[in-house]
């Protein structure tokens, strides 16, 4: 039975009045689109680009006030949260690919070895990954840790990801680190500027989530893996991915998300050109990050970030952590939730790698301590590729979206064609943000608010 949403007792109009935003409701349709072409043209004719940004601030405020009350500790609400996430990202369980992978070469390091994998996910989609294994290999099945990449240069070959993977492997786990769509060896597919997935009712992040679910299913069928001890970890863009896995991957026993836990609204309102993997259609006003991370309860969860992270303020982290902790407390599982703000910036560093390694050791039964990390240890280089060259017939991210959706999209489609801002297209807009065009940023706002 589908759970009933529980709106706030305060009406939308009363709430808007309370915030001093009365009158804004007339500018916008309840669907999040401009009420009509005449009103859209009027919005552009009446004011500057600055006034349009102000109007979107009101829309974000209204969306926040419309947020239904949901409690991830309640099974029906948790189910609703997962359903909303799938709708926003365009995730369909029937579209999760069946990974076919093969080892093409391997390399050794102190305490382990690395298998370089070439794979196919969806038909025509080439994939690559690194699989880290302890050496010598124990006779019993190993815990699995999926290391989710962010935007580190080189994808799975980014220095921080390699050192994190080795830290975990030396503790006694198998680590799977795939390249996301359009990253690492797969950069030719396209990633940060793709528009066709959105025109097809999908999203770049949704495609990444579905492929990652496919990789997890592949790994859990490995006879070398103990399926009861599976975890996922990620920072920054990998932190984004693990937030969604928290709500959508019940097979995981342990999870860590870092360098991202905050609020979707904060991400949505950034006045910059986003990487399109950050665009989450319709999420604002429907669910928040704490709903997704709280859905992982009562399983062990560790979130953290640096006190000097320039992308996410610590205040928002504490706000989100408080809400998640309340879910764990309601389920009498508070000891399974850990949150921490540490000294440092945005990326994983040696102390954070150790902290994450210890968390995984506690909950996966791994070796509790290791010698101090050698930060001068040589790691794989760009020459250590899974592919000799990128296949000429491999699908792009845009072509994959068209294949899944069964539709064709004009190659010249831009984001504001899919999510038109509330201003007529023939109205010129001054670019007043130093980090992106006004029309692009407003289209991003529309995507989050749709």
In this predicted structure, what is the pLDDT of residue 409? 98
Tens-place pLDDT, residues 162-175: 999 999 999 999 99
Tens-place pLDDT, residues 171-200: 999 999 999 999 999 999 999 999 999 999
In this predicted structure, what is the pLDDT of residue 425? 86
In this predicted structure, what is the pLDDT of residue 424? 87
Tens-place pLDDT, residues 400-443: 999 999 999 999 999 999 999 988 888 889 999 999 999 999 99
Cβ–Cβ under 8 Å, residues 172 and 367: yes
Domains with residue ranges and CATH for the chain: 12-66+414-449 (no CATH), 93-364 (3.40.50.1820)
The CA angle 368-373-374, to the nearest 5 degrees, is 155
Rounded to the nearest integer, the mean pLDDT of the chain is 91
Query: Percentage of residues in the chain with pLDDT exceeding 70?
Result: 90
Cα distance between the two ends of the chain: 26
H helices, E strands: number in the chain: 15, 9
In this predicted structure, what is the pLDDT of residue 10? 43
DSSP state, 260? Answer: -
Q: Which residue has the higher pLDDT, 130 or 11?
A: 130
Q: Which residue has the higher pLDDT, 334 or 31?
A: 334
In this predicted structure, what is the pLDDT of residue 24? 36
Cβ–Cβ under 8 Å, residues 361 and 143: no
Tens-place pLDDT, residues 95-150: 999 999 999 999 999 999 999 999 999 999 999 999 999 999 899 999 999 999 99
In this predicted structure, what is the pLDDT of residue 426? 86
Tens-place pLDDT, residues 38-66: 344 344 433 489 999 999 999 999 999 99
The CA angle 137-356-306, to the nearest 5 degrees, is 150
pTM above 0.85, yes or no: yes
Q: How far apart are CA 196 and CA 114, in angstroms?
A: 35
Residue 27 has pLDDT above 90, yes or no: no
């Amino acid at each position: 039975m589908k759970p009933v949403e529980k709106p706030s007792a305060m009406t939308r109009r009363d709430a808007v009045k309370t915030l001093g935003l009365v009158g804004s409701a007339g500018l916008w349709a309840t669907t999040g689109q401009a009420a009509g072409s005449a009103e859209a043209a009027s919005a552009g004719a009446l004011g500057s680009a600055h006034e349009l940004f102000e109007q979107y601030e009101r829309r974000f405020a209204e969306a926040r006030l419309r947020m239904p009350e949901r409690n991830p500790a309640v099974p029906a609400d948790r189910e609703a949260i997962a359903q909303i996430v799938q709708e926003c990202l365009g995730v369909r369980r029937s579209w999760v690919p069946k990974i076919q992978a093969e080892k093409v070469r391997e390399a050794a390091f102190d305490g382990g070895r690395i298998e370089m994998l070439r794979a196919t996910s969806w038909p025509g989609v080439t994939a690559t990954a690194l699989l880290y294994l302890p050496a010598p290999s124990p006779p019993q099945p190993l815990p699995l840790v999926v290391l989710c990449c962010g935007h580190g240069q080189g994808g799975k070959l980014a220095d921080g990801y390699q050192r994190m993977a080795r830290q975990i492997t030396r503790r006694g786990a198998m680590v799977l680190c795939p390249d996301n769509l359009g990253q690492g060896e797969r950069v030719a597919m396209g990633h940060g500027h793709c528009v066709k997935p959105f025109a097809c009712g999908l999203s770049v992040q949704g495609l990444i989530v579905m492929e990652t679910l496919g990789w997890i299913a592949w790994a859990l069928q490995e006879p070398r893996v103990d399926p009861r001890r599976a975890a996922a970890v990620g920072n920054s863009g990998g932190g984004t991915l693990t937030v969604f896995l928290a709500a959508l991957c019940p097979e995981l026993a342990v999870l860590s998300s870092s360098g991202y836990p905050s609020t979707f609204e904060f991400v949505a309102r950034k006045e910059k050109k986003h990487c399109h993997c950050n665009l989450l259609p319709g999420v604002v006003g429907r669910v928040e990050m704490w709903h997704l991370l709280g859905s992982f309860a009562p399983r062990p969860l560790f979130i953290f970030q640096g006190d000097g992270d320039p992308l996410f303020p610590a205040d928002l982290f504490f706000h989100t952590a408080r809400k998640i902790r309340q879910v764990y407390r309601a389920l009498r599982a508070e000891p399974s939730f850990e949150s921490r703000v540490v000294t440092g910036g945005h990326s994983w560093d040696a102390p954070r790698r150790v902290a994450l390694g210890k968390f995984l050791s506690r909950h996966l039964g791994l070796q509790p301590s290791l010698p101090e990390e050698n930060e001068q240890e040589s790691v794989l280089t760009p020459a250590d590729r899974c592919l000799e060259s990128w296949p000429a017939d491999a699908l792009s991210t845009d072509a994959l979206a068209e294949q899944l959706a069964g539709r064709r999209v004009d190659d010249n489609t831009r984001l504001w064609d899919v999510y038109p801002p509330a201003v007529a297209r023939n109205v010129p807009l001054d670019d007043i943000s130093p980090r992106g065009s006004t029309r692009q940023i407003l289209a991003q706002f529309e995507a989050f608010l749709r």
